[in-house]
Structure 1
Amino acid sequence: MTDAQETAADTSLRTTGGAPPDEGGVTPQAQPIPLLEPREGIPPVIADADALAEVVAAFAAGSGPVAVDAERASGYRYGQRAYLVQLRREGAGTALIDPVACPDLSGLGAAIGSAEWDLHAATQDLPCLRDIGMIPTRIFDTELAGRLAGFPRVGLGAMVEGVLGYTLEKGHSAVDWSTRPLPEPWLRYAALDVELLVDLRDALEKELERQGKLDWALQEFEAIATAPPAPPRKDPWRRTSGMHKVRKRRQMAVVRELWTARDRIAQRRDVSPGKVLSDAAIIEAALALPPNVHALGALPGFGHRVNRRQLEQWQASVDRARELPESELPQPGSPLAGPPPPRAWADRDPVAAARLSAARAGVIARAEELRLPQENLIAPDTVRRLCWEPPAETAPEAVAQALRDHGARPWQVELVTPVLLKALREHP
């Protein structure tokens, strides 16, 4: 940034304070300033042990929070690994690190582990950062802070423009970050993603404090930072897009076989599963149950681009499903670890359905009053579980304890307990 731009940024923070008006958005400057270059220029990509050691030392000697971001290759490569890590800290500047060339960043993670990490949409980046040894102890999530503060648009570009008065070029967000070497425009984009992240964090902290919500945000950030890694998803093939069309168990077996074969091939090739075979093609094969390669090749998704060998491979998966004994066919629906889908409540338990309707209405009203998204006030799954199996005693402490058991934070328990208690008492 030029001196003039830095002065404008300081003026923006002083004049607006990052404070949204009552309807939930900061009044931006009349003419946002395009942020075109990192203030120290585009840093070189760190891709060897010696350069990484210098970065670790610099960031360990830096001061204040650390802005952190990661770029993945979703839609191009298998899995969600990081292909570029960006960091910025006062006294250290900006660093761009290639985690393919430097796959173990645990030394860097340890060097900044006690500092606050500032991320935007932390739950998206923390899993891939954890895989390379970077595990924070404290975070500040600027996207979540924006939601709690009542901003209608919480993407990084919208937040930087609305709060700080700068526009970020966001044209490279969906590129293939596994590309090597990374083009200079992509590196510029990546460096700018952390350029003003700490400034945004500071402005949002002031706004949350002004609204009396800072403690809520800190509780949410702690919950994210201390959450264990998500367990492997059970029966991931059931999430195939279009699965709602598949009704018969034999057809479900086709989906399972094709999904499993596709996943195995995608992992071996290190490409996105959708580039091997589309979800739509899997569903078409499941519904048609083609008896041979010729019939399979006539289906959408298995046309002229699929060669004979590939068709035979997919047909073998279909044949395996066709030949399974009834006892080995998958059961309809995924095993439920909680209440049934709400659409089934009216038939199975009309009182619970009425209870859920009242609870939802109460939560929506309270969220609107507080200018919060209702899912941030309390997780919808928590409301469903509480309404399906309410505590034996409809007393404030019993409801509060049930909320805590389902993972609600103290601020949520305090705000939501009266709302849910009312719904439970109206429909015992």
Structure 2
Amino acid sequence: MQAEHAVVEVIDDRHGYLAAVEAIRGGHGPIAIDAERASGYRYSQRAYLIQIFRRGSGTFLFDPPAIGDFAELNDVIAGEEWVLHAASQDLTCLREVGLNPTRLFDTELAARLAGLPRVGLGTVVEELLGVHLAKEHSAADWSTRPLPQSWLVYAALDVELLVDLKEKLADVLERDGKTDIAAQEFESVLARDFVVVRAEPWRRLGGLHTVRGQRGLAIARELWMARDAYAREIDIAPGRLVPDSALVAAARAMPESKRDLAGIKEFTGRASRSQIDRWWAAIQVGLSTEDLPALRVAGDSVPPPRVWSEKNPEADRRLKLARAAVTEVASALSIPLENVLTPESLRRVAWTPPGEPTESSIRDALRALGARPWQLDATAQVIAQAFVEASQSPEQAPDEGS
């Protein structure tokens, strides 16, 4: 059973914020921090609530849109160790308001390295601390104002147990000789920029593969761009205006009039009719433009493994043998395979291996792909050996399984 929680208040003015900063300054130990966004509801990925807990200070919930810049808080806590769960999800929105950690302990990543079978915050807290942590508000619209008290309690609990959880996980990692591994992983997370900029983001439209011809793709592109611009303008998640399936249906139909567009039964969504002029204007551009998109875009990604046996049998053998070897390493370490070495890195080095598959050359190739020193120590030799075996035997290797 979870004990009843005290009433939680949100700090939404500069006076309260500055008073909280001083209180946090007077605390001691790590800074537990979390952020709530409104993914799926708003266009932006900004933080709509930031929660902080520090021993000796207490719990503080801040309203970022109301407060604005958090420079004063960052000055106080930047040099301390920050404890987050799944830091990669929150670092971007924290940095956006001026909160930039220099030392990190990620409890979700630590749980993975510790070999826990499930790493969600509620599950890990229950397993290691014996506390049931309800997660029913995780997908809520945190841009809602005022925020319901039950949501605020949920948000407070998310940080109030993080320091205790960090200490339990640190003990497990030390016991298993994984403290240095965790430190390298945490440093890697801190060094990464999680903002992804795509050259042609419209190509990620769900169902785009069903659109035929360059003209159809041009219509899909213009519809995506019109929806994205409008969603950004009113700060609503694009899919809540018109779903991908509706844009794709319109691109397939290539309507010749606004009436035809309105008559497409698959063209649905809350803004499908109220903004019909906007969508029709986009379709007209798509129908008339001479800037037709390519049917296929050459990327630097490698083909999916399912086609390797036909396209590149040698690479297929390398991948299957190397993946089997790395799987054994992951099992011995009790660390998930994807954390021992990302599948993409293994595929890339198998598809385009160094000229001579030695441990040194594999190390260099994996290091260039972002592998950490501990990953190189764990995998470079077994991958090199697998590549040598693959070149010597064309026989069927174990199933790749992905």
TM-score (norm 1): 0.87
Q: Structure 1: any 5+ residue segments left out of the alignment?
A: 1-32
Determine which of 374, 390, 394 is the counterpart of 2:357: 394
Determine which of 54, 73, 76 is the counterpart of 1:111: 76
Amino acid corresponding to residue 240 of structure 1 in structure 2: L
* 8 Å contact from structure 1 (residues 35, 168) kept in 2: no
**Cα distance in structure 2, aligned partners of 1:297 and 1:36:** 52
1:330 equivalenced with 2:293 (yes/no)? yes
* 8 Å contact from structure 2 (residues 309, 316) kept in 1: yes
TM-score (norm 2): 0.92
* 8 Å contact from structure 2 (residues 240, 269) kept in 1: no
1:87 equivalenced with 2:52 (yes/no)? yes
Identity of paired residues, percent? 47
The alpha-carbon deviation at position 180 of structure 1 amounts to 1.2
**Cα distance in structure 1, aligned partners of 2:271 and 2:262:** 8
What corresponds to 1:241 in structure 2? 206
**Cα distance in structure 2, aligned partners of 1:171 and 1:309:** 33
**Cα distance in structure 2, aligned partners of 1:273 and 1:158:** 32
Q: Structure 2: any 5+ residue segments left out of the alignment?
A: 392-402
What corresponds to 1:147 in structure 2? 112
Question: Given the superposition, is the C-alpha separation of residues 101 and 303 from structure 1 closer, same or farther in structure 2, using an over 3 Å criterion?
Answer: closer
Question: Given the superposition, is the C-alpha separation of residues 334 and 163 from structure 1 closer, same or farther in structure 2, using an over 3 Å criterion?
Answer: farther
1:63 equivalenced with 2:31 (yes/no)? no
C-alpha root-mean-square deviation of aligned residues, in Å? 1.8
What corresponds to 1:27 in structure 2? none
Q: Say which SS state the counterpart of residue 92 (structure 2) adopts.
A: helix
**Cα distance in structure 2, aligned partners of 1:258 and 1:356:** 40
* 8 Å contact from structure 1 (residues 164, 200) kept in 2: yes
Question: Given the superposition, is the C-alpha separation of residues 105 and 382 from structure 1 closer, same or farther in structure 2, using an over 3 Å criterion?
Answer: same
1:314 equivalenced with 2:270 (yes/no)? no
What corresponds to 2:95 in structure 1? 130
Amino acid corresponding to residue 328 of structure 2 in structure 1: A
* 8 Å contact from structure 1 (residues 68, 85) kept in 2: yes
Can you list the C-alpha shifts for 1:317-376, whole angstroms capped at 9, x where unaligned?
Answer: 122212223xx2222344412433334433432211221222222222322232222111
1:52 equivalenced with 2:17 (yes/no)? yes
Determine which of 98, 104, 123 is the counterpart of 1:158: 123
The alpha-carbon deviation at position 304 of structure 1 amounts to 9.2
Determine which of 288, 305, 317 is the counterpart of 2:253: 288
The alpha-carbon deviation at position 247 of structure 1 amounts to 4.3
What corresponds to 1:204 in structure 2? 169
* 8 Å contact from structure 1 (residues 119, 141) kept in 2: yes
**Cα distance in structure 2, aligned partners of 1:86 and 1:216:** 28
The alpha-carbon deviation at position 306 of structure 1 amounts to 5.5
**Cα distance in structure 2, aligned partners of 1:422 and 1:247:** 45
* 8 Å contact from structure 1 (residues 66, 117) kept in 2: yes
Question: Given the superposition, is the C-alpha separation of residues 369 and 168 from structure 1 closer, same or farther in structure 2, using an over 3 Å criterion?
Answer: same
**Cα distance in structure 2, aligned partners of 1:241 and 1:301:** 14
What corresponds to 1:8 in structure 2? none
Determine which of 347, 351, 375 is the counterpart of 2:338: 375
Mapping for residues 132-281 of structure 1, pairs under 5 Å: 132-281=97-246
